[in-house]
Amino acid sequence: MPVAKQTTLIEGLFNNMSVAFKSSNKTTILEEVESLSFDYEKQKALERKEKEPLPTGRKYFETKRNFSKGLVPEKYTRSEKAPRLTAKGSTAHGMKKELLKEIIKEITSLYDLTFIDLYISAAHANVASACLPDPNLQLHQSLSEKRFWDRLVEEKIGLLKGPERDIDLAPADLRKIFKVAFYTTLNGGNAAGTERLAANIVANALDKINVSWRLEDLLQSRTFLSLKTVVEQLEISNEVKNFNLECAVPHGKASDANGIIRQRYCTYCVDRVKPYVYEGKHRGISRVVQSHEVLLLTELVGQAILAGGLPISLDHDGALLCFHGKVDHSMKAKEIMEGVWPYSEFLLKRKIPLEVKTHYYGGEIIPTPK
């Protein structure tokens, strides 16, 4: 596939990420990356992109948005295909975090209010861990051992070092790459797939990549090929893959929009009696963990209201809560978490932890120390 001579890997994946560039004799690296995956859902997405113009790349707050109805969604819904919450309209639910932070800062500078971002800690991993009883799994260790990811990097870094390596990945880079690979698998994705792994490396080790490289240079590099093997063999990811196989049940076959007969699968989840039906066996695990998370989120919201909070926006695994006056965020989070625990013990046989990601007061954003 031809590549524009002046387009580097970094330019193609980042600077042109939201620009529709088409030419009879040139292909952007973005288009190359998109063409790496040929699964059914990806193909449908590409077909939609051909029919609809791509975003212009303008910042969120520069686009034509109408917030006249307020930032708080009137209602949340769930689709027939997945348990996660969605809300229509221009609201805080779908807003870019950078813009929402600026709005909350302004509100707390004008009014005596405290806002708390309260989330289920490592939601997907905690739910999946509760569903897998074997205490020897690395999945459990990743949640209980503070140095788990550092230890994993120490075990694997020798396979990615040496004078023949063309990308000098630091331990901190590998730690991020391994965690992204794990969570990609936990969401039903293929972390070792060419497109996913390339995006993972670029996102987490951008400064280590030769700026003159094109996509093909990255894909042919010795470090990429070695890392692909390492990611394929990560034990913690393979544990999740094995669990994923247990989450999907064959559910007959049906024709897609193009008249192609495809196998369908279904998953019975805790949030409703009717099963979720979908294409792609790997999608079962995300339904299982999301169905538990939406029930935990419901209980979190109920306990927050009892604690004097007002839910402003619900995310998939947490909520932005508003309290009158100056509130001790850690004590308030502890109060809500202890209220949620009886339900989480009933649902998952364990106390699922909650954490404050950020809180706001007096026009200040106050991140929670890690």
DSSP notation for 169-231: --HHHHHHHHHHHHHHHHTT--TTSHHHHHHHHHHH-GGGS-TT--HHHHHHSHHHHHHHHHH
Q: Of 158, 169, 163, nearest to 209 (Cα)?
A: 169
Q: pLDDT tens across 325-350, in order?
A: 999 999 999 999 999 999 999 999 99
Compute CA distances 91 → 66, 76, 135, 287, 343, whole Å.
9, 11, 42, 25, 29
In this prediction, residues 86-115 reach a mean pLDDT of: 86
213 or 94, higher pLDDT: 213
Contact 120, 318 (CB under 8 A): yes
The residues facing 115 across adjacent strands are 322, 360
Question: What is the predicted pLDDT for the residue at 123?
Answer: 92
57 or 23, higher pLDDT: 57
Work out the pLDDT band at 148, boundaries 50, 70, 90. very high
The helix/strand/coil state of 365 is: strand
Q: How many beta carbons lie within 10 A of that of residue 181, not counting itself?
A: 24
Q: pLDDT tens across 200-229, in order?
A: 998 899 888 888 888 888 899 999 999 999
Compute CA distances 216 → 138, 259, 323, whole Å.
34, 35, 52
Give every CB contact of residue 59 below 8 A, 6+ residues apart in sequence.
Answer: none
Of 38-47, 59-68, 118-127, minimum mean pLDDT range? 38-47
Q: What angle do CA 232, 238, 239 make, to 5 degrees?
A: 165
What share of the chain has pLDDT > 90, as a percent? 48
Question: What is the predicted pLDDT for the residue at 99?
Answer: 83
Max Cα–Cα distance, the chain, nearest Å: 62
Question: What is the predicted pLDDT for the residue at 113?
Answer: 94
Q: Of all helices (H) and strands (E), which one includes residue 297?
A: helix 284-306
Kindly report the CATH class assigned to 74-121+287-367.
alpha beta
315, 318, 319, 320: CA torsion to nearest 10 = -100
Per-residue pLDDT for 27 more than 50? no
Question: What is the predicted pLDDT for the residue at 51?
Answer: 42
